[in-house]
Structure 1
Amino acid sequence: MSIDIKKRKINIWWSLVPLIVMIIAMLLTIVVFEGEPHIPLIIGTGVAALIAWKQGYNWKEIEEMMFQGIKLALPAVLIIMLVGLTIGAWIGGGVVATMIYFGLKIISPSIFLVTITIICGIVALTVGSSWATMGTIGVAGMGIGMSMGIPVPMVAGAVISGSYFGDKMSPLSDTTNLASGLTNTDLFVHIKHMFYTTFPGLLISLFVFAYLGKDFGRNTIENANIQQTIADMQANFVISPYLLLIPLLVIILVALKVPAIPSIAVGIIMGFLSEIIIQGDTIASALNVLQNGYSINTSNEMVSELFNRGGLMSMMYTVSMTIVAMTFGGILEYSGMLQAMMDQLLKIVKSTGSLIASTIGACFLTNATCSEQYISIVVPSRMFAKVYYDSGLHSKNLSRSLEDGGTLTSVFIPWNTCGVFIYGTLGVHAFAYAPYTILNFTVPLIGLLYAFTGFTIAKMDRNQANDINTLENEETREKKSKHYI
């Protein structure tokens, strides 16, 4: 179906109405009525549909906008469901209990936050996926931190910070490749340029976590609680170092560039077989764990909280949230409302500093409105490529800003696919872990500091100018054609 956005350009004020209505509904529902974010997003979708209809779009076109938004989220939905299966299989198979057991034996509480940040960073750098890291190593890290008496949001912040550092700096990462590809920037030039903002962000994160961790030394924690947790795990699971080979195998597969879905599927199968062969459960019980999650009966409330989780059905909240959010984002994107917001941002660009600030702001706005970090990279890259070229700036400035503002800020939006995934996987709401995701809010601030001081801001060379000129000519021709959904 062909939709000509140019003929139906929407006024900025009308474009803001669905966003404002959704935010007000979200605040009332979550803060005042302590409800869930689904209904506010549905309300926002309804308002957006009405405005699109008022602008001349028919219902079939509006439906296609929503369907296209959902289509963009389908890969994320599949990963979300697989992660639910992984958590169930690895808990039932004793993998998570084994990782927690050895973590409690080896890692000191005072350095745990620093340690889990580094471990998640290394794993994500190797596999190229923050989601895969959080859904495996991150889950075990949450269990270890909880057993040590460290606040859950603080542990989640460390897991997220490390996972996103590794994801951002990995040549295997989809968002890293997307940002470099859309801006016509060499992948390793892009990664090297991100180092200037991301590595200082990691150092600041580690310093903060080291400071926070000093309050959790063994002298301030009831060691009896840790020993009781270990005893309860040993009573309910067969603990074996051989079970650590399962997550190691998944990491190796992804490092060998086996696609994420088959790699995760191997981990699920191995966890399922471990539950039957090593833990001694029946096939029927193991299948039920995959579907409904693991269930454990113990008087230890912490152990119950750690292991009563996982399974396909545990992710249905996350899946439904993702679908609803993407219907809202689909209408904003394909009706031209988001374009109208971006056009207003471009009007404030008067210097290099304001240009990069506008790019980061546009990425955050897209994360909040379209609820998907991929769109937060794609749309601003289209909008700002020519502006960077006209300003004589190297495209690696744009690619870095897209990641600083798009990839990293996605975790702060509760209805964004990343915020929803983290809530479903780690069990912590975005508003709770946000103050502790040090890397994710530090890096954009460092990017802004560089932008206004000129530090690490690279000018365009002759070859880059020729490459971008070719790219811009192609984009100009594309913009003159109709938009297809």
Structure 2
Amino acid sequence: MSPPPQISFGWALVPLLLMMLAMGIGVIVLGVDAHLPLVLGTVIAGLVAWRHGFAWDDLEHMMYQGIRLALPAVLIIMLIGMVIGSWIGGGVVATMIYYGLNIISPAFFLAASCLLCAVVALAIGSSWSTMGTVGVACMGIGTALNVPLPMVAGAVVSGAYFGDKMSPLSDTTILASGLTHTDLFEHIRHMVYTTVPGLLIALGVYLYLGRSTGQNADLAEIAATQAGVAQAFTVSPWLLLVPVLLIVLVLRRMPAMPALVVSILVGLACQVVVQGESLTDALSTLQNGYVLESGNETLDNLFTRGGLQGMMYTVSLVLIAMTFGGILEYSGMLRAIVQRILSVARSTGSLIAAAISSAIVINVACAEQYVSLVVPARMYVRGFVERGLAPKNLSRSLEDGGTLTSVLVPWNTCGVFALGALGISAWEYAPYAVLNYVVPIIGILYGLTGSFITYLTDAEVEKYKREFAQDGQSVVL
């Protein structure tokens, strides 16, 4: 690429604001998918960059760079689609739903779903894998209990992101600590102050909601659902070993992709051996998803999903979003926006609020949580240290604002994945994903009040400055 021209703050806002306006009109008013507003945003961002001197080759390179950043997520999305298909076809999800209906009280279901997803995500370090497996089962149980599905999805998302955020196995947790020169476990301990209160508030809300949703449960309908599941699938407690195997593999430090491939193969074997279907049908499930035709509309809708093709809507939206985000970042438009925010952040509270808000804005603008961690980390880490703030304050702020809010943005890769896995859009579940929007508020309040903020000694400031000098770290991207 040629040397980047400077784009002003005002011009940098144009594609972002117009894309958000198009998204609001298109998705909310006209009811179209998010793809076209993102395409329009990409075109406008390209025109702004072109007006400031970028050539077509530069723009092409920016879009490819954005897509390249999303490729690991795309592979995970496709694998999760096949996991969902194979686990449904193999009777694993049916077994989890069948026994879950026996042990979960309707009044405590939302809180229990949140806690279950939190424990699983904490163990395996992946919110996506948790939503695509245990989360799918929770949606099925919620359907049988007559719990509004946006509530169920919100509880699943809250729990999954709590576990992901607090797990030393999580890629975002490792990334946030590494980018800010913070010890991993020190980073996790510092996040306890915002994340645990957020979880307790979320559980309180779910217990309150459960008082009314629990009254909607029809015991006869629950029994009929269990009977229908048992008729459509071979249900066995041995099938519960499949999700246990996934957890064990990840705990033994197997990378996510190989662990998911093993889970797919085990689910495929269960569909052939336990459910008695042909290998051809099982392979078709991996490609096209499982299709249940039991005559029970509720069960058919629940179990007809998954497969590689079932995730192509998600994949296409991710790729388009990342072309938009790629132009914003590599043209310098995103830098112009963040630098303006940085210039007005004078106090400790305003600096922390700026870091959290920047991560949220980048989640909206670039539609990718990794960008919402990387860019603010590079922009703010030196500023935090120079003002005597320990970098772990920044690493926590990045996770509070970046990791947690990504799934609340319908066109973000995380929000799109949740739609593909749970069947509920962020527009619907966001009000019930309590942890995900409470924690950023707690983080900002801590910054404004000075609570649970760690400061550096003069010697520590000099130590970090030497580290930044060795790494070539600067305030400017």
TM-score normalised according to structure 1 size: 0.96
What is the rounded CA distance, in whole Å, between the counterparts of 2:475 and 2:149 in structure 1?
A: 47
Map of 1:4 onto structure 2: 3
Report the alpha carbon displacement of residue 229 of structure 1 after superposing the two structures with TM.
0.9
Which position in structure 2 is the counterpart of 1:419? 415
Give, in angstroms, the shift of residue 464 of structure 1: 3.2
Q: For residue 87 of structure 1, what is the aligned residue in structure 2?
A: 84
1:467 maps to 463
- Give the Cα–Cα distance (whole angstroms) in 1 for the partners of residues 362 and 81 of structure 2: 27
Conserved in 1, the CA contact under 8 Å of 2:379 and 2:474?
A: no
Q: Could you give the per-residue CA deviations for residues 139-194 of structure 1, whole angstroms, max 9, x where no partner exists?
A: 11111111110000100111111111111111111111111111101111111110
Does 2:204 correspond to 1:202? Answer: no
C-alpha contact 1:394 1:461 (8 A) present in aligned 2 = no
| One of 337, 354, 364 as aligned partner of 1:358 | 354
Residues paired across the two proteins, number: 477
What is the identity, as a one-letter code, of the residue corresponding to 1:186?
D
Q: CA deviation at 1:54?
A: 1.2
Residue 77 of structure 1 aligns with an amino acid whose one-letter code is: V
Q: Which amino acid aligns with 1:225?
A: E
Match of 1:310 in 2: 306
Partner of 1:246, secondary structure, is helix
Are residues 1:13 and 2:47 paired?
A: no
Structure 2 residue 270 is the aligned partner of structure 1 residue 271? no
- Note if contact 1:133-1:163 (Cα within 8 Å) is conserved in structure 2: yes
| Structure 1 position 236, deviation (Å) | 0.9
- 1:336 equivalenced with 2:332 (yes/no): yes
Aligned counterparts of 1:172 and 1:49: Cα–Cα separation in 2: 37
Deviation, 1:411, is 1.0
Q: Is the 8 A contact 1:177 1:187 kept in 2?
A: yes
Cα gap change, 1:250/1:66 in structure 2, threshold over 3 Å: closer, same or farther? Answer: same
The worse-fitting range, judged by mean Cα deviation, of 372-381 and 51-60 is 51-60
- Is the 1:100–1:141 contact (alpha carbons within 8 Å) kept by the matching residues of 2? yes
SS at 1:102's partner residue? helix
Of the three residues 381, 401, 405, the one matched with 1:405 is 401
Give distance in 2, aligned partners of 1:385 and 1:479: 8
- Aligned twin of 1:73: 70
Q: CA deviation at 1:412?
A: 1.3
Q: Please show how residues 60-459 of structure 1 align to structure 2 within 5 Å.
A: 60-217=57-214, 220-459=216-455
Query: CA–CA distance in 2 between the matches of 1:115 and 1:479?
Result: 44
CA deviation digits over 1:317-338, x for unaligned, max 9?
A: 0000000000000000000000
Quick check: 224-233 or 99-108, which moved more? 224-233
**Consecutive aligned runs of 4 or more in structure 1 exceeding 6 Å deviation:** 477-480
Any gaps of 5 or more consecutive residues in structure 1?
none
1:353-385 CA distance string (max 9 Å, x none)? 111111111000111111110110000011111
Q: What's the CA shift for 1:267? A: 0.6
Aligned-residue offset at 1:287: 1.1
Distance 2:274 2:473 in 1: 61
| Partner deviation per Cα, 1:292-333 (whole Å, 9 max, x = no partner) | 111111232211111011111000000000000000000000
Q: 1:3 to 1:461 in 2, by over 3 A?
A: farther
Measured against aligned partners, the alpha-carbon deviations of 1:20-53 in whole angstroms (never above 9, x if no partner) come to 1111111111122110000110111011111111
Deviations 1:255-283 (A, max 9, x none): 11100001011110011011011101111
Per the TM alignment, residue 462 of structure 1 is displaced from its structure 2 partner at its CA by 4.7
Q: CA offsets per residue over residues 442-472 of structure 1, 9 Å max, x none?
A: 1111111111111111111355323320233
Aligned residues with identical type, % of pairs: 53
> Is 2:51 aligned against 1:59?
no
Partners of 1:338 and 1:477 in 2: CA distance:
18
Code of the residue aligned with 1:316 in structure 2: it is M
8 Å contact kept, 1:80–1:319: yes
Counterpart code for 1:124: A
Three-state SS of the structure 2 residue aligned to 1:347 is helix
- State the one-letter code of the partner of 2:181: N
Runs of 5+ consecutive residues of structure 2 not aligned to the other structure: none
CA–CA separation in structure 2 for the residues paired with 1:462 and 1:260: 41
Change (3 A) 1:165 1:456: same
Deviation at 1:86, TM superposition (A): 0.4
Q: 1:113 and 1:13 mapped to 2: Cα distance?
A: 44
Please tell me the root mean square deviation across aligned C-alpha atoms, in Å: 1.3
Q: Secondary structure at the match of 2:44?
A: helix
Deviation at 1:114? 1.0
CA apart distance, 1:201: 0.5
CA distance in 2, matches of 1:232, 1:300: 8
Q: What is the Cα deviation at residue 216 of structure 1?
A: 3.1
Does the 8 Å contact 1:385/1:472 carry over to 2?
Answer: no
- Counterparts of 1:409 and 1:11 in 2: how far apart (Å)? 27
Partner amino acid, structure 1, of 2:213? F
Q: Secondary structure at the match of 2:419?
A: helix
Question: Contact (CA 8 Å) 1:229, 1:300: kept in 2 or not?
Answer: no
**What is the DSSP-based 3-state SS (H/G/I as helix, E as strand, rest coil) of the residue aligned with 1:159?**
helix
Given that 2:468 and 2:474 are in contact with CA atoms closer than 8 Å, whether structure 1 keeps it comes out as: no
Taking structure 2 as the reference length, what is the TM-score of the superposition? 0.98
Q: Secondary structure at the match of 2:344?
A: coil
Give the residue type in structure 2 aligned to 1:306: L
Contact preservation (8 Å) 1:360, 1:406: yes
Give 1:100 shift: 0.2
- What residue identity is the alignment partner of 2:168? P
Superposed CA deviations along residues 404-457 of structure 1, whole A, max 9, x for unmatched, are 000001011111110010011111111100000010011111111111111111
